[in-house]
Amino acid sequence: MAKQNIQQVKQRFSIIGASPELDRAIDIALQVAPTDLSVLITGESGVGKENFPQIIHQYSRRKHGPYFAINCGSIPEGTIDSELFGHEKGSFTGATATRKGYFEVADGGTLFLDEVAELPLPTQARLLRVLETGEFIKVGSSKVEKSDVRVVAATNVNIVYAVENGKFREDLYYRLNSVPIRVPALRDRKEDIPLLFKKFANDFAEKYMMPPITLTDAAKEMLKEYRWPGNVRQLKNITEQISIIEQERIITPEILKTYLPENEVGMLPVAISNIHDAEQKTFANEREILYQVLFDMKKDIMDLKHVVKNILSGQTDPSATNLDKTDTRTGYPFVEQETEAIPALPVKYKETPSSSRETTPTKKQVENDILDATEYEEQALSLEEVEKDMIKRALERHGGKRKLAANDLKISERTLYRKIKEYNLENL
């Protein structure tokens, strides 16, 4: 009976696939639908998470009530509270009239909060209150109002990491996660890929009034082995491209290969250690960033000093000091000379009346000059110069968008504006 219900749901909501993971997700949605429990739907972008809130709503006692889907990531931070909870006239600039929020107009129905992890922390606190008590307050009001709304949330980020990094409230996570539903990625249900391709091909053939494209057996295998970082959405887009562009309606691996990008977004390898470092390294303010940068620079210089000292003391073993012409700890190149390898550092040798630039310096002179250069580098770099350079680089990386640059630097926008004015960077 349960299997029959799942097939009915697939037909009703045009869900293609027969993988056990997909059937399990649909089965959980059907079981939780008659209750009022909050549901958290997780899965990568493009897997079809938007189908499950509709399944839950249509098979619940609220199916005759309103249903609203809100993309939390597309609403500006300054207006999200007004959108969700409403506002009173005159509560902020532009509030020319009283407005109802989604929690008020969706009373008795279902509210789907897509990309819920993008909500600001203050809004998360207000959402937690309405989930626990059914009460909310409009922006600019002091009157407590009630609402009977069933909340279904979805996110494509690892929300556990978001909680650990302070980006998402732990209590809200547990409140939303009363019933978790995980929608599998397309690469985890490879047997469904040819079925989806055929469905999309027939849809586009009807839409554009042309014969449908078909795959050879070898092309089907290639399609199944592809990683699909964009999941079902990417598969649909590629099927549409092939349907429109290709004159040949039988698609071979040679044709298909030209439409499967090798370096698609989400496919580039990332070192696990780098991910861990990025998650663990956070900064309370810009001064800590500067200290970290200076500390790293000093460490690099000390590494170079250590390498040069080893070379000058007679450790000329290529395996120890000159691996593939690059120092493995610092990444600096070496310049091969007839006697020994000397790091290619920007050091100016001191000239005396009895020496010239053409004279080869002694080991003692090189060692002293390295130490002098190290001291010079440490003294020349000031906090202001490093700070200005970091701000300039962040603004250039994000095309002058100050909000993104502030997030990159882990500082507030107000602090960034002040620093931009202080360093005369307004034109970037």
| 424, HSE (Cβ side, Cα atoms, 13 Å) | 1
Residue 338 pLDDT > 80: no
| DSSP 8-class letter at 147 | -
The pLDDT of residue 296: 72
- How large is the average pLDDT for residues 269-287? 42
Identity of the amino acid at 219: A
Note the Cα 32 to chain centre separation in Å.
30
Residue 279 lies inside a defined structural domain of this protein = no
Residue 137 lies inside a defined structural domain of this protein = yes
Question: What whole-number distance in Å separates Cα of residue 369 and Cα of residue 360?
Answer: 13
Q: Quick: pLDDT tens for 230-272.
A: 999 999 999 999 999 999 999 999 999 999 987 554 444 333 3
Confidence class for position 55, pLDDT limits 50, 70, 90: very high
CA nearest to 39, candidates 128, 104, 101, 112: 112
Q: Are residues 225 and 320 in the same domain?
A: no
Name the domain count of the chain: 4
Confidence class for position 365, pLDDT limits 50, 70, 90: low
Residue 311 burial (10 A CB sphere; 0-12, 13-18, 19+)? buried
The pLDDT of residue 240: 96
Question: Parallel, antiparallel, or unpaired: how do β-strands 144-146 and 135-137 relate?
Answer: antiparallel
Q: Are residues 144 and 51 in the same domain?
A: yes
- How large is the average pLDDT for residues 292-305? 72
The pLDDT of residue 179: 95
Residue 85 lies inside a defined structural domain of this protein = yes
Q: Are residues 15 and 90 in the same domain?
A: yes
Question: What whole-number distance in Å separates Cα of residue 367 and Cα of residue 351?
Answer: 15
3-state secondary structure of 68: strand
Q: Are residues 376 and 411 in the same domain?
A: no
Question: What whole-number distance in Å separates Cα of residue 352 and Cα of residue 368?
Answer: 14
- Which helix H or strand E contains 273, and what residues bound it? helix 272-280
Question: What whole-number distance in Å separates Cα of residue 138 and Cα of residue 248?
Answer: 59
Residue 330 pLDDT > 80: no
Q: How far is CA 304 from CA 301, 309, 317, in A?
A: 5, 8, 17
Question: What whole-number distance in Å separates Cα of residue 390 and Cα of residue 289?
Answer: 9
The pLDDT of residue 192: 96
Residue 262 lies inside a defined structural domain of this protein = no
Please measure the distance between the N-terminal and C-terminal CA atoms of the chain and give it in whole angstroms.
64
Confidence class for position 337, pLDDT limits 50, 70, 90: very low
Q: Which of 184, 214, 243 is the last residue of a domain?
A: 184
Cβ proximity of 345 and 370 under 8 Å: yes
3-state secondary structure of 39: strand
The pLDDT of residue 328: 45
Residue 276 lies inside a defined structural domain of this protein = no
Q: Are residues 51 and 145 in the same domain?
A: yes
Q: Are residues 57 and 89 in the same domain?
A: yes
What is the secondary structure of 205-263 as a DSSP string?
A: HHHHTSPPPEE-HHHHHHHHHS--TTHHHHHHHHHHHHHHH-S-SEE-HHHHHTTS-TT
Q: Are residues 33 and 15 in the same domain?
A: yes
Residue 275 lies inside a defined structural domain of this protein = no
Confidence class for position 347, pLDDT limits 50, 70, 90: very low
Q: Are residues 392 and 371 in the same domain?
A: no
Q: Are residues 118 and 18 in the same domain?
A: yes
- How large is the average pLDDT for residues 199-215? 95
Q: Which of 365, 380, 395 is the last residue of a domain?
A: 380
Q: Are residues 29 and 134 in the same domain?
A: yes
Full-model pTM: 0.61
- How large is the average pLDDT for residues 350-366? 49
Question: What whole-number distance in Å separates Cα of residue 289 and Cα of residue 242?
Answer: 48
> CATH number, domain at 414?
1.10.10
Residue 270 lies inside a defined structural domain of this protein = no
Handedness of CA 314, 316, 319, 320 (dihedral sign): positive
Residue 50 pLDDT > 70: yes
334, β-bridge pairs: 343
Residue 23 lies inside a defined structural domain of this protein = yes
Tokens of 203: 């849809």
Q: Quick: pLDDT tens for 407-425.
A: 888 888 888 888 888 888 8
Q: Which of 150, 184, 218 is the last residue of a domain?
A: 184
Question: What whole-number distance in Å separates Cα of residue 29 and Cα of residue 182?
Answer: 10
Residue 163 pLDDT > 80: yes
Beta strand residue intervals within 262-369, DSSP E? 334-335, 342-343
Q: Are residues 296 and 203 in the same domain?
A: no
The pLDDT of residue 362: 59
Beta strand residue intervals within 142-183, DSSP E? 144-146, 150-155, 179-182
The pLDDT of residue 334: 44
Q: Which domain holds residue 30?
A: 2-184
Confidence class for position 215, pLDDT limits 50, 70, 90: very high
Q: Cβ–Cβ contacts within 10 Å for residue 237, how many?
A: 14
Note the Cα 55 to chain centre separation in Å.
28
Radius of gyration for the chain, computed over Cα atoms and rounded to the nearest angstrom? 30
Residue 339 pLDDT > 50: no
> CATH number, domain at 227?
1.10.8.60
The pLDDT of residue 220: 95
Lowest-confidence range among 92-101, 158-167, 302-311, 370-379?
A: 370-379
> CATH number, domain at 25?
3.40.50.300
Q: Quick: pLDDT tens for 66-121.
A: 999 999 999 998 899 999 999 999 888 888 899 999 999 999 999 999 999 999 99
Residue 374 pLDDT > 60: no
